[in-house]
Amino acid sequence: MMRGRADGSRRYSFPRTARITASGEIRALFRRGRRKRTRHLDVFISSSPVAYARVGLVVPKHRRTVVERNRLKRRLREAVRLELLPRLQDEGAAYDVLFRARPEAYKTSYEQLRQEVVQVAEELCYRSS
């Protein structure tokens, strides 16, 4: 949730209410969500049963080490926190968005992941207006 600060700048966070963590909800999004593919991510989008946007992240092992997997999760989480959530909150869009990393995502940079998240955010905000 974005909150204003005393100095007028914004604070970006990834509150628990904006996270999809329950395995049942994740499976349901895989089934009912509209799938969009980017170069490194599979994105599943559905209307949210709550009145605000929520995001889930799935990073399969793909025969990678724990260190590589955690690095990818941190990069993806940061891109979502800085790029997707603020835009959806500003638009008042109530979507559930699930990002699943593909094997190619392990070899990409943070900047490329961020650009793909921005692309998804712009498409969602364009659709909601």
Read off the pLDDT of residues 2-28 as tens digits, 9 standing for 90 and up: 444 444 456 678 899 999 999 999 999
pLDDT of residue 93: 86
- Give the residue among 59, 32, 61, 60 at the shortest CA–CA distance from 44: 32
pLDDT band at 129 (very low <50, low <70, confident <90, very high): low
Domains defined for the chain, CATH in brackets: 15-128 (3.30.230.10)
pLDDT of residue 90: 87
pLDDT band at 102 (very low <50, low <70, confident <90, very high): very high
Q: What is the pLDDT of residues 68-88, one digit of tens each?
A: 999 999 999 999 999 999 999
Judge if pTM exceeds 0.75.
yes
Coil, strand, or helix at residue 47? strand
Residue with tokens 């209410």: 17
